[in-house]
Structure 1
Amino acid sequence: MNRREAVQRVALLMGGVLSAPLMAGVMGQIINTGDSVSVSIEQETLLAEVADIIIPTTDTPGAKAAGAEKFIVRVMRDCYKKEDQDKFYTGLAKLDADSKTKFGKGFIELDIVQKNEMVKLNTVNDKPFFMRMKELTVTGYFTSEIGATKALEYLPIPGKFQGCVPLKPGQKAWAL
C-alpha cells in the first residue's frame, strides 16, 4: 500500500473524502502555480492557536506541537487557488475580529474557555472556514510524526499482514 492509498483510507475512516487540493498537499505536490496569499507570522500564530483548540494537548501532544499550522500554510499556498486562500484567511481574520468584539481581545489572548466558545460560534457563523480549517488541521496532525507515532499506534517495520485484529480495550487505532 502506498502513502496515497493509506491517506485515502484514513479519510474514509474519518467519515469523508479529502478534497483534491488537500490530497495533493499530502502528497507534496504543487498544483497552484499562480499567485498566493502572503502569510504573516501573526496569521501563522493564530492558525496554531485555532488548530490547538481543534486537537488540544491531552495525554498526547496537540496540533500546535505537531506543527499543523506549517502544514496548513504550505498546503494553502501550494494547492489552493488564490480565491480560496483569500476566503480562508478572511475567515481566520473574522474569527480574530469576532473575538475582539465579544471579549475585547484577539483570539490568541483569550483563555481556553473563551477560545472554545469562539470556535463553537465559528462552526455556526462561518461553517465553510471552520470545515476547511478542521480538514487541514486533522490531516496535518495525523500525517505528522507526532500524530502518527504518539496519537496512533505505529510500527516502523510492520510484520505479517493480519486483515482483522481485534483492538484491546483502550488501545489506539493503527497509523498507516
Structure 2
Amino acid sequence: MNRREAVQKITFLMGGMLSAPVMAGILGEKLNAGPSLQITAEQEALLAEVADVIIPTTSTPGAKAAGAEQFIIRVLRDCYPLADQEKFYTSLTQLNTDSKGTFGKSFTELDAAQKNQLVKQLTTKDTAFFRRLKELTVTGYFTSEIGATQALEYLPVPGRFEACIPYKPGQKAWALG
C-alpha cells in the first residue's frame, strides 16, 4: 500500500472528514479543468506566514519549513473552481489589509504575538476562510516529509501487528509510511 492509498483509507475511516477537493489534492488528482489564478510571490509568502501561525515551529519544524503553502497553492489551483480560488485569495488579501490597518505593517512583517492576534480574530471574522485554510495547512503539513517523519512517529517498514500498545508520555502519534 502506498501513502496515497493509506491516507485515503484513513480518511474514509475517519468518516470523510477531509473535503473532496483536499482528498483529490492528496491523491494528486486534478478536478479543476477551467482557468486558475496566478499567484504572486507576495501572496505565496503571506500564505506561508499564515500557515506557520497555524502550525508554528516548536521542537519540530512548522508549516513554513514543510512547504505547506506549496500544497495549498497546488490544491487550490488544481482542485477548486476559479470562484472558490478568488474567494480564498480575497480573504487572504483582506487579512493583510487588516494587518496594515491595525499595526501599520504587512502580515509578514509582524511579530509572532501580532500574527497570532490577527489569526485569532480571523477565526470569528471569516470562519469559512479560516476553516479552509486550517484544513489545507494541516493536511499539507502532515502529508509532507517533515510532518510525517519529524512531527509524527514514523516507521517506514512496520514490524509485527500489535493491536493495543499504550503510548508513553510525550510519544508522538504514528504516521503512515
TM range (shorter): over 0.9
C-alpha distance in 2 between matches for 1:6 and 1:162: 21
Q: Match for 2:124: what amino acid?
A: V
2:44 corresponds to which letter in structure 1?
E
The number of aligned residues is 175
**Local SS of the residue matching 1:36:** coil
Contact in 1 for aligned 2:24/2:31 (Cα 8 Å): yes
* 1:163, distance to aligned residue in structure 2 (A): 2.3
After superposition, the Cα gap between the structure-2 partners of 1:75 and 1:57, relative to the gap in structure 1 and judged at 3 Å, is same
Distance 1:73 1:151 in 2: 22
* Pair 1:123 & 2:128 matched: no
- 5+ residue gaps, structure 2, are none
CA shift, 1:7, in A, is 4.6
Which residue matches 2:80? 80
Cα distance change of structure 1 residues 152 and 109 upon mapping to structure 2, 3 Å threshold: same
Structure 1, residues 119-145: CA drift from partner, whole Å, max 9, x if none?
001111111111000000000000000
> CA–CA distance in 2 between the matches of 1:100 and 1:12?
43
1:8 CA drift (Å): 5.1
Aligned to 1:39: 39
- What does residue 70 of structure 1 align with? 70
The TM-score with structure 2 as length reference comes to 0.93
Give the whole-Å Cα distance in 2 for the aligned partners of 1:71 and 1:46.
Answer: 14
Deviation, structure 1 residue 159: 1.1
Corresponding residue number in structure 2 for 1:54: 54
The answer for the alignment partner of 1:106 in structure 2 is 106
Contact 1:21 1:80 in 2 (8 A): yes
SS at match of 1:18: coil
CA distance in 2, matches of 1:11, 1:137: 20
Q: After superposition, what is the alpha-carbon deviation per residue over 1:50-92, rounded to whole angstroms, capped at 9, x for unaligned?
A: 0000000000000000000000000000000111101100110
Aligned match of 2:139 = 139
Report which stretch shifted further, 4-13 or 17-26.
4-13
Identity percentage over the alignment? 65
Distance, in Å, in 1 between the alignment partners of 2:60 and 2:11 is: 19
Aligned-residue offset at 1:160: 1.6
Partner of 1:6: 7
Confirm or deny: 8 A CA contact 1:8 1:18 kept in the other structure. no
Secondary structure, aligned partner of 1:174 = coil
Letter of the structure 1 residue corresponding to residue 17 of structure 2 = V
- Could you list the runs of 5+ residues in structure 1 that have no partner in the other structure? none
- Counterparts of 2:31 and 2:16, CA distance in 1: 22
Specify the alignment match of 1:148 in structure 2. 148
Code of the aligned partner of 2:106: G
Partner of 1:173: 173
Report the alpha carbon displacement of residue 5 of structure 1 after superposing the two structures with TM: 4.3
Whether the aligned pair in 2 keeps the contact of 1:32 and 1:77 (CA below 8 Å) is yes
